[in-house]
Structure 1
């Protein structure tokens, strides 16, 4: 990944993909907590100074740790509430099945604190303790 590559890609139902700078900044009003009447959203509180939250190993001693986020040592964005296996497994039987690019399907899927789904380029569900930099 280069400095310009997104640290996260948000997967929206119907196969739409948006980089974290568009979603976390509030540029697009995808946040479920924002009503349509408001017309726009504010940036996520975890998105500070235009920087996506840190992706770090889960620590079972952390008071915010939950097995829903993954096993101790697995990498996860600090804004993640839980992980949902791979994007491929999570979309089976849904309206979005078959709509996302093949290269994203093996990536671990997370739900952020804003209620949206995201993947981290290079963070595969079958090896969640490393980010493979040549991926996606």
Structure 2
């Protein structure tokens, strides 16, 4: 990946179709999330809100929602939790990040090589966690 394939922050503005696969390595099962992710302008950045339906094996589907704030600092993206705490950051030349949430490690890589479609892949490991979460984004309204 080159720096040219990474969009600017405002390129994310709008609503995206979001499909996520959650591969649980310990249980040997796969769950899915289907919904939307919306980026809206908010105090010098973008507010991120995803809503949809989470389907896990042996459970009825249920409503799921997440919120973050995205900011652009030079060529660096910084993502905060909705309450303002720093979550992770990445740059054009290093589209990967690690977040430590004791006792678990969350590693993410972003792929923008077929923009405006893009993907994030999280590998999560810890004493009780071992899963991969692959999120595919496609533009709906921009």
TM-score range (shorter-chain normalised) is: 0.3 to 0.5
Which structure would you say has the larger Rg? 2
Q: Please state which structure has a larger fraction of its residues in strand.
A: 2
Q: Please state which structure has a larger fraction of its residues in helix.
A: 1
TM-score by length of 1: 0.32
